């Protein structure tokens, strides 16, 4: 009897202790469940049901939708609460590496030295200049910390000084939707003029009269760049003169001045065609066409010393440089070869100088610089690492005898150099300071991973010295793979916190980018888009097979179109990943591309295809992440978005998360972080974005078991 009594008493005590513990330890709430309201999405290729379509609200005012997003944020707070100490430690580490009172390398233009500088503890740069010499008194052009005060989001898109150096025009966005407002300041008095123009692109050009500003007006619904207009200071925006209107919604627009400063140009480009129209900057009038648009002809033209130099893919898939005399408007037959096409070299960009030409080119998956001298000789700018990237710095004056360029790698912080062509002397002007970082403690590699179709995929790797390739390490793999945008191996200051915890960081240079030339891009878009996803997975499997990582300790990340990549990979190969981070993900491909009222849709038919064509509809439907969620186990997933995103609307990831919650069969965490005051780029300010990064880094390390 006594034994039974003691046992019963112990059971009561244990039950009481368990109840007390449950009362003192917070429990994770149930994840939010969005209501299902079937909605038919019709297309020539078929009809689909979208039960979460109601989450779309273009006004962003629907109380039920906002309440759902708030519930997702509250749930994310609860799930991530245990990671908060790690998040705070990561944030402290990352910010601790930043030199808070840093400044950019000054560059000279029209007698002034321009630069930006940061003050300790402040989020935004100060734009400033000095006249004649850097020892002259400082003139502050924009004090962005004061301008951003009281605003949840703030961004200056472009700031341009007039030709007489007296006025500053800039474009600012205080919402995050990339609908900028033009403003003008008198630099002599400091007075901000009453002139404003709303809903513009962050792209401004002054005419030589110092009174006329050319800008691009956006469509208020689709946010497409539609019209080039000219604003004359002191006149209402309603009186602005129409300079050019684009009727084809598949074209993006830009504005610029030629290297010679002689012409103002309107740049028009779709995925498959380019057109450039120019007019004299001294007396703007009718726009002259450099070469009429034609499908599959892409070009960019610049002018210096009485000639045009044109980067063109005319009979040159990897591009060549051609030249034409002044006045050869629209006459492609008068173009002659300057730098011939090469099958193994992709010409990405160029800069004209009075005494030489600099070319930015790609070969072997790396971006490097080549210099063409007046005598016809050429030379490469030297590099010392196996994986790196070079690019042009600010070369504002064509009469310079030195090239300013940047150099970086996964172990080398961004470095700015001047290379004097006359002497060959290379001068390091600045290497971005990284407090407490010792590059000798890190190693970078370039490896080649075989894709399932036999294509070799370049991969850039970095890890801390002492890493053992024994198949036990965690791996964090990043890629983008769309629009021909190349993800070059560049120093990643926040990622040092991953490396210091034993993580191997990899960039997969997959098809859809342009690292290996134009064909690399063409083989990763339209009806070949599946190559992009296969490449990413095959890189992962190769790195695991070569013992760079443990199979169960692999994380992956992508954003925007890279978020599409993450969604496809999660559906197609969930077993290969322990955790996935997907930021502002383009996951509802078919529905978005069917709706031409959504910003950017019409510009991108040649990237993804037009699903109104049944063949494209079927292909896109085969990989669209939202449409291919299935009842299976998924990795732990962190999804981030901004309510005011103009490029990937917030409701795409919102619907994706809702359907994923309803369908997946695992208990792995799925968190959805919605920034209610930001757009596609996340929070503004140099420190606030590190808060977001620290949060998902902590999530990743928690899943991968980083030290």
Q: Which domains does the chain have, with CATH numbers?
A: 40-95+442-704 (3.40.50.1820)
Q: What's the pLDDT score for residue 707?
A: 58
Q: Quote the tokens at residue 183.
A: 């403003």
Q: Looking at 482, 560, 646, 684, which residue is catalytic?
A: 560
Question: Residue 157 in contact with residue 180, Cβ under 8 Å?
Answer: yes
Q: What's the pLDDT score for residue 684?
A: 56
Identify the helix (H) or strand (E) that includes residue 90: helix 84-96
Pairing of strands 225-232, 212-218: antiparallel
Question: Residue 624 in contact with residue 589, Cβ under 8 Å?
Answer: yes
Q: What's the pLDDT score for residue 424?
A: 87
Give, to the nearest 10 degrees, the angle between helix 530-545 and helix 614-623: 30
560 belongs to the catalytic site: yes
- Whole-angstrom Cα distance, residue 427 to residue 429? 6
180's CB contacts (< 8 A; 6+ apart) are: 157, 171, 172, 173, 199, 200, 201, 202
According to DSSP, the residues that pair with 300 across neighbouring strands are 311
Q: What's the pLDDT score for residue 11?
A: 33
- Whole-angstrom Cα distance, residue 28 to residue 153? 31
Using the structure block, give the residue that is written with the tokens 């591009």: 319
Q: Quote the tokens at residue 595.
A: 């709706």
Q: Looking at 50, 208, 418, 645, which residue is catalytic?
A: 645
Phi, psi of 141 (to 5 degrees): -90, -50
Q: What's the pLDDT score for residue 682?
A: 52
Q: What's the pLDDT score for residue 10?
A: 31
The pLDDT tens digits of the residues spanning 628-645 come to 999 999 999 999 999 987
The pLDDT tens digits of the residues spanning 257-279 come to 999 999 999 999 998 999 999 99
Q: Quote the tokens at residue 478.
A: 């990043």
Q: What's the pLDDT score for residue 678?
A: 57
Tell me how far the alpha carbon of residue 593 is from its chain's centroid: 21
Neighbours of 335 (CB within 10 A): 23
Q: What's the pLDDT score for residue 13?
A: 30
**Residues in the chain where the model's pLDDT stays below 70:** 1-27, 599-600, 646-647, 678-686, 706-707
Q: Quote the tokens at residue 502.
A: 């034993």
405's CB contacts (< 8 A; 6+ apart) are: 358, 369, 381, 390, 391, 392, 393, 416, 417, 419
- Whole-angstrom Cα distance, residue 379 to residue 356? 11
Distances (CA, A) of 490 to 1, 237, 343, 443: 75, 42, 26, 13
Q: What's the pLDDT score for residue 18?
A: 37
Nearest alpha-carbon partner for 331 in 348, 353, 314, 352: 314
680 belongs to the catalytic site: yes
């Amino acid at each position: 009897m006594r034994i039974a009594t003691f046992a019963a008493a112990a059971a009561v005590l244990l039950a009481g202790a368990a109840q007390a513990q449950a009362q003192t330890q917070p429990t994770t709430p149930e994840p939010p469940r969005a209501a299902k309201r079937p909605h038919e999405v019709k297309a020539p290729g078929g009809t689909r049901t979208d039960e979460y379509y109601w989450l779309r609200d273009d006004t962003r005012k629907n109380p039920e939708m906002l309440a759902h997003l708030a519930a997702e944020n509250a749930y994310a707070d609860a799930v991530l609460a245990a990671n908060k100490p790690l998040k705070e430690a990561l944030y402290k580490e990352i910010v601790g590496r930043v030199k808070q009172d840093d400044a950019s390398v000054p560059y000279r233009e029209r007698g002034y030295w321009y630069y930006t500088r940061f003050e300790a503890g402040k989020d935004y740069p100060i734009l400033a200049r000095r006249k004649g010499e850097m020892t002259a008194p400082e003139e502050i052009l924009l004090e962005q910390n004061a301008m951003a005060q009281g605003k949840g989001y703030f961004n200056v898109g472009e700031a341009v000084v007039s030709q007489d150096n007296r006025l500053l025009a800039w474009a600012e966005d205080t919402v995050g939707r990339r609908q900028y407002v033009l403003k003008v300041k008198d630099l002599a008095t400091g007075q901000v003029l009453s002139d404003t123009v709303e809903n513009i692109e962050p792209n401004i050009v002054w005419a030589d009269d110092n009174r006329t500003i050319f800008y691009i007006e956006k469509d208020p619904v689709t946010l497409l760049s539609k019209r080039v207009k000219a604003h004359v200071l002191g006149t209402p925006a309603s009186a602005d003169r129409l300079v050019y209107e684009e009727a084809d919604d598949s074209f993006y627009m830009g504005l610029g001045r030629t290297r010679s400063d002689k012409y103002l140009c309107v740049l028009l480009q779709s995925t498959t065609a380019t057109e450039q129209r120019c007019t004299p900057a001294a007396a703007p009038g009718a726009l002259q066409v450099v070469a009429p648009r034609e499908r599959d002809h892409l070009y960019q033209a610049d002018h210096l010393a009485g000639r045009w130099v044109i980067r063109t893919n005319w009979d040159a898939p990897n591009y060549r440089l051609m030249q034409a005399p002044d006045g050869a408007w629209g006459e492609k037959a008068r173009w002659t070869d300057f730098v011939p096409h090469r099958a193994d070299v992709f010409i990405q960009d160029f800069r004209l100088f009075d005494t030489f030409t600099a070319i930015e080119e790609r070969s072997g998956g790396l971006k490097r610089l080549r210099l063409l001298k007046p005598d016809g000789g050429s030379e490469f700018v030297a590099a010392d690492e196996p994986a790196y990237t070079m690019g042009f710095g600010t070369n504002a004056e064509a009469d310079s005898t030195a090239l300013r360029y940047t150099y970086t790698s996964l172990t080398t912080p961004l470095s700015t150099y001047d290379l004097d062509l006359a002497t060959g002397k290379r001068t390091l002007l600045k290497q971005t300071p990284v407090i407490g970082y010792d590059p000798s403690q890190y190693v970078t590699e370039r490896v080649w991973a075989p894709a399932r179709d036999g294509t070799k995929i370049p991969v850039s790797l970095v890890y801390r010295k002492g890493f053992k390739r024994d198949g036990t390490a965690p791996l964090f793999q990043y890629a983008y793979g769309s629009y021909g945008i190349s993800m070059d191996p560049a120093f990643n200051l926040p990622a040092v916190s991953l490396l210091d915890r034993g993580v191997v960081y990899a960039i997969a240079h997959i098809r859809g980018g342009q690292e290996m030339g134009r064909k690399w891009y063409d083989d990763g878009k339209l009806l070949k888009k599946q190559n992009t996803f296969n490449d990413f997975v095959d890189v992962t499997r190769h790195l695991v097979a070569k013992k760079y990582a443990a199979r169960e300790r692999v994380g992956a990340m992508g954003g925007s179109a890279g978020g599409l990549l993450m969604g496809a990979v999660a559906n197609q190969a969930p077993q290969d990943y322990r955790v996935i981070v997907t930021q502002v993900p383009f996951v509802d491909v078919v529905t978005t591309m069917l709706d031409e009222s959504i910003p950017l849709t019409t510009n991108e038919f040649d990237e993804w295809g037009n699903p109104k064509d049944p063949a494209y509809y079927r292909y896109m439907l085969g990989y669209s992440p939202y449409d291919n969620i299935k009842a299976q186990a998924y990795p732990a997933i962190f999804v981030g978005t901004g309510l005011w995103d103009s490029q990937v609307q917030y409701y795409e990831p919102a619907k994706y998360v809702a359907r994923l919650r309803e369908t997946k069969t695992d208990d792995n965490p799925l968190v959805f972080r919605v920034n209610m005051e930001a757009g596609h780029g996340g929070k503004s300010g140099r420190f606030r974005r590190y808060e977001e990064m620290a949060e998902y880094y902590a999530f990743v390390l928690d899943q991968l078991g980083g030290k």
